[in-house]
Amino acid sequence: MPGKSIITILEEIGTLLEIKGENPFKSRAYFNAARTLSGVESLDDIIAGRRLREIKGIGEAIAARVTEYALTGEIPYFEELKRELPESLLELTQVPNLGPKKIKVLFDALHITNVGELEYACRENRLVNLPGFGAKTQEKILKGIEFIKKHKGEHLFGDAYPDAVAMTEKLKELVPGVIVEVCGSIRRKKEIVKDMDILAAGSDREAISLAFTTLPGIEEIYLTGGTKTSCRLVTGIDADLRVVSVEEYPCALLYFTGSKEHNVRLRGIARKKGFKLNEYGLFEDERVIPAACEEDIYAALGLSFVPPELREDMGEIEAAEKGTLPDLVDVSHIRGVFHVHTEFSDGSDTVEGMAKAARQLGLSYLGISDHSKSAYYAGGLKKEALLRQWELIDGLNERWKDFHIFKGIESDILPDGSLDYDDDILEGFDFVIASIHSNFNMKGDEQIARVTRAMENPFMTMLGHPTGRLLLSREGYDIDMKTVIDKAAKHNVIIELNASPYRFDIDWRHLPYAKERGVMVSVNPDAHSAAGLKEIFYGVGIARKGWQEKKDILNTRTVEEVREILQRRKAKRQFEPFEPLEPLEPKGKKTV
């Protein structure tokens, strides 16, 4: 995990420099370096090979400090900064609506060094008269602190999953023949997880448990034993290892995967059939009913196998009883991706570089969609830049006969619902992702009117990250997703499932309703680097959680099929709507 750690440290150095009031170019260099390195594959190998200076944007000083950290485990410059300023100031950066400049004011004027002191100052009304604050800002900061408290101890799936997989793979290396699987909310692909559950089975339980305690990335061990080991990782997440016999493994896997509600329903069905189901096995009186895998347990209960992603007691039990569970989309079904940024706006790779990376992933098309002109903060494209990009894409499409690049844009939806290019420019794109990037505080009915007007524009192809949420950082804006889905169905607009682990927006809980209404979904990586294209894997997991099948997803289609759909949308209302799908049956008591 060294690469991941150094990226966090670079961000913290940049933040401390901003709080200290250093030259903004200096702090920005550290932020830019962190962002650049986060998109680099095999970063640890590059650091070890002392090839950091080959990466664009990594200067000599930062390269030296990164290498220094890799060799010694610390950066004296960072330690010096932490001696000058309380390290707890970094806590304050987690508060929404509170940036480094405001943190400096709070520290200088009120000597506030942590979130607890900040909350007390807000409750005492001490921020109102500070320069750059006021009553409204103080209220927003209090709400931000409440948000942090609400989500304390939670972690992004995208942070927990890679570490969990790495730990299971390493355990397999250390203990040949061990059976091991990630369980819990991570296996169910919940967008937010609280801890990490790993299940293992083998003949020598003590050896498995001992090997687990030697895995890299463990900061503190709470408990060790033959059946359970608990620890805390350097990333801050708690991890539990459970060790069972090979015979117990299938039922233990089912039990520790959850969810609790799904397991309760299964145990109820087992009781009605005269069985007893728990983590140790499926029993008829004292006799163990043999089960080689989870599928055998479901079959013994008279149910179709329920994929882990669906185990939330949201209609999957009823569908399993009737044999009507969906044939879920798989990452192998994805043929191309949309919503990709390049160095034309705020991406770190060229158009050709992104296309080559997509080809290496086995994809057959790519939808480039840099930011539009209103997004000046992200290098939004003016007409001249667009024309240069289009010419470049045309040249690449002439060179490659087995791969196609679609010309697109991520156009800002302005407060009045208009898009920020004239129709003569919008008409030149193959597709337009329309997204809200400003005026988040508009009331719900105003946001609906804003999005509806955008959908009425025939050049709008799909709605980007429809709630604007940033998981564990920012709530989505006030908008009713059921109404948005209804409007999308009416105007034949595709809805994006943003695959970034920071977003996962549209929320999976709304996808079954989108499916019922016949609204097509596009699983988009929102990639700002070649490495970011791989986040399509996360998006497919969320799509599966939302009952999506191959036919429900735009980018499971061939280039020719996608081109026809996009051209149909541009034909200014001269198109047939997507064929509505049959409603999910049954809905279950908790469907959205």
Does residue 251 lie within any of the structural domains?
A: no
What domain range includes position 291?
A: 260-324
Residue 143 sits in the same domain as residue 156? no
Is the separation of the CB atoms in 408 and 433 below 8 Å?
A: yes
3-state helix, strand, coil in the chain (%, to 5): 45, 15, 40
The pLDDT score that the predictor gives to residue 4 is: 57
Per-residue pLDDT of the chain (592 residues; tens, 9 = 90+): 445 578 889 988 998 998 888 888 888 899 888 888 877 777 888 888 888 888 877 889 999 999 988 888 889 999 999 888 888 888 898 888 788 889 999 999 999 999 999 998 998 888 988 998 999 999 999 988 988 888 889 999 999 999 999 999 999 999 999 999 999 999 999 999 999 999 999 999 999 999 999 999 899 999 998 899 999 998 889 999 999 999 999 999 999 999 999 999 999 999 999 999 999 999 999 899 999 999 999 999 999 999 999 999 999 999 999 999 999 999 999 999 999 999 999 888 999 999 999 999 999 999 999 999 998 878 899 999 999 999 999 999 999 999 999 999 999 999 999 999 999 999 999 999 999 999 998 999 999 999 999 999 999 999 999 999 999 988 899 999 999 999 999 999 999 999 999 999 999 999 999 999 999 999 999 999 999 999 999 999 999 999 999 999 999 999 999 999 999 888 754 334 444 434 333 333 333 2
Last residue of a domain, one of 324, 350, 368: 324
Does residue 297 lie within any of the structural domains?
A: yes
Last residue of a domain, one of 282, 302, 324: 324
| Burial bucket for residue 361 (CB in 10 Å: 0-12, 13-18, 19+) | middle
Last residue of a domain, one of 303, 324, 345: 324
Cα torsion 33, 39, 44, 50: sign:
negative
Q: What are the structure tokens assigned to 464, written together?
A: 């980007």
Distances (CA, A) of 239 to 160, 218, 228, 335, 378: 10, 9, 10, 35, 38
The whole-angstrom distance between residue 20's C-alpha and the CA centroid of its chain comes to: 32
Residue 361 sits in the same domain as residue 463? yes
Q: What are the structure tokens assigned to 328, written together?
A: 């879920």
CA dist 517 and 499 (Å) reads: 22
Within 10 Å of residue 288's Cβ, how many Cβ atoms? 13
How many domains would you assign to the chain? 4
Residue 216 sits in the same domain as residue 287? no
Does residue 576 lie within any of the structural domains?
A: no
Which helix (H) or strand (E) segment is 496 a member of? Answer: strand 494-498
Q: What are phi and psi of 463, to 5 degrees?
A: -95, 120
Name the DSSP class of 211.
Answer: H
Q: What are the structure tokens assigned to 493, written together?
A: 């607009």
Residue 423 sits in the same domain as residue 368? yes
Is the separation of the CB atoms in 154 and 192 below 8 Å?
A: yes
CATH number for the domain that contains residue 274: 3.30.210.10
Name the DSSP class of 154.
Answer: -
CATH number for the domain that contains residue 181: 3.30.460.10
CA dist 447 and 453 (Å) reads: 10
Is the separation of the CB atoms in 472 and 447 below 8 Å?
A: no
CATH number for the domain that contains residue 121: 1.10.150.110
Q: What are the structure tokens assigned to 283, written together?
A: 């029993």
CA dist 475 and 129 (Å) reads: 27
Q: Which of 570, 545, 493, 454 is nearest to 191 (CA)?
A: 545
Residue 145 sits in the same domain as residue 156? no
Residue given tokens 């949309």 in the structure block: 338
Q: What are the structure tokens assigned to 201, written together?
A: 């089975």
Q: What are the structure tokens assigned to 215, written together?
A: 């895995």
Residue 340 sits in the same domain as residue 474? yes
Q: Name the pairing type of β-strands 238-244 and 228-233.
A: antiparallel
Residue 477 sits in the same domain as residue 524? yes
In the sheet that 276-278 helps form, which strands lie side by side, from edge to edge? Answer: 276-278, 281-284, 287-288
CA dist 222 and 229 (Å) reads: 8
Is the separation of the CB atoms in 275 and 283 below 8 Å?
A: yes
Q: In sequence order, which ranges of 428-556 are alpha helices (DSSP H)?
A: 444-456, 481-491, 511-516, 536-545
Distances (CA, A) of 554 to 158, 425, 495, 524: 23, 24, 10, 10
Does residue 285 lie within any of the structural domains?
A: yes
CA dist 171 and 173 (Å) reads: 5
- HSE on the CB side for 162, CA within 13 Å? 12
The pLDDT score that the predictor gives to residue 21 is: 86
| Burial bucket for residue 546 (CB in 10 Å: 0-12, 13-18, 19+) | buried
Q: In sequence order, which ranges of 111-192 are alpha helices (DSSP H)?
A: 115-123, 135-150, 157-174, 184-187
Is the separation of the CB atoms in 497 and 339 below 8 Å?
A: no
Q: Which of 273, 239, 276, 272 is nearest to 255 (CA)?
A: 276
For residue 52, the one-letter residue type is L
Residue 543 sits in the same domain as residue 410? yes
Angle made by CA atoms 367, 496, 408, in degrees to the nearest 5: 25
3-state secondary structure of 541: helix
Residue 387 sits in the same domain as residue 312? no
Residue 382 sits in the same domain as residue 266? no
Residue 373 sits in the same domain as residue 476? yes
Which helix (H) or strand (E) segment is 278 a member of? Answer: strand 276-278
Distances (CA, A) of 456 to 297, 395, 421, 518, 562: 50, 33, 15, 18, 21
Does residue 398 lie within any of the structural domains?
A: yes
The whole-angstrom distance between residue 84's C-alpha and the CA centroid of its chain comes to: 35
For residue 85, the one-letter residue type is L
Q: What are the structure tokens assigned to 422, written together?
A: 């004239």
Does residue 455 lie within any of the structural domains?
A: yes
Residue 542 sits in the same domain as residue 560? yes
Dmax (CA) for the chain in angstroms is 77
Does residue 590 lie within any of the structural domains?
A: no
Does residue 584 lie within any of the structural domains?
A: no
